[in-house]
Structure 1
Amino acid sequence: MSELTPATSTQYLSFFFAGEEYALGILKVKEIIEYTSVTRIPGAPGWVRGVFNLRGSVVPVVDLAVKLDTPPSTLTRWSCIVVVEVKLDGERIVLGLLADSIGQVIELGPADVVPPPSFGTKVHLDYLLGMGRMEAGRKFVLLLDIDKVLSTQEVLAAHSQQPPEAPAS
Structure 2
Amino acid sequence: MQMILFKMNQQHYLISADTVEEVVDTIAITQVPLAPKWVEGLINLRGTVITVVNLATLIGVAESATNKNILVLNHEGNRKGLLIEEVMEVLDIEDQDVQLAGINSDSHFVGVVAVEDVIADVIDVAKLSF
Alignment counterpart, residue 61 of structure 1, candidates 52, 57, 71: 52
TM-score norm. by structure 1 comes to 0.69
Percent identical: 26
Name the larger-Rg structure: 1
Q: How does 1:137-156 map to 2 (within 5 A)?
A: 139-150=118-129, 154=130
Consecutive unaligned residues of structure 1, counting only runs of 5 or more, are 1-9, 155-169
Matched residue pairs, number?
130
Distance in 2, Cα, partners of 1:125 & 1:139: 25
Distance in 1, Cα, partners of 2:71 & 2:118: 23
- Post-superposition offset of 1:64: 0.9
Q: How does 1:117-156 map to 2 (within 5 A)?
A: 126-135=107-116, 139-150=118-129, 154=130
Alignment counterpart, residue 81 of structure 1, candidates 70, 78, 89: 70
Correspondence 1:110 to 2:110 = no
Distance in 1, Cα, partners of 2:36 & 2:84: 18
Alignment counterpart, residue 98 of structure 1, candidates 80, 83, 87: 83
Distance in 1, Cα, partners of 2:106 & 2:87: 23
Q: Which letter maps to 2:114?
A: R
> Is the Cα–Cα contact under 8 Å of residues 118 and 125 in structure 1 kept in the other structure?
no
TM-score norm. by structure 2 comes to 0.88
Q: Flag the structure with higher strand content.
A: 2
Distance in 1, Cα, partners of 2:102 & 2:110: 12
Consecutive unaligned residues of structure 2, counting only runs of 5 or more, are none
- Post-superposition offset of 1:111: 1.9
User: What RMSD, in angstroms, separates the aligned Cα atoms of the two structures?
Assistant: 2.2
> Is the Cα–Cα contact under 8 Å of residues 63 and 73 in structure 1 kept in the other structure?
no
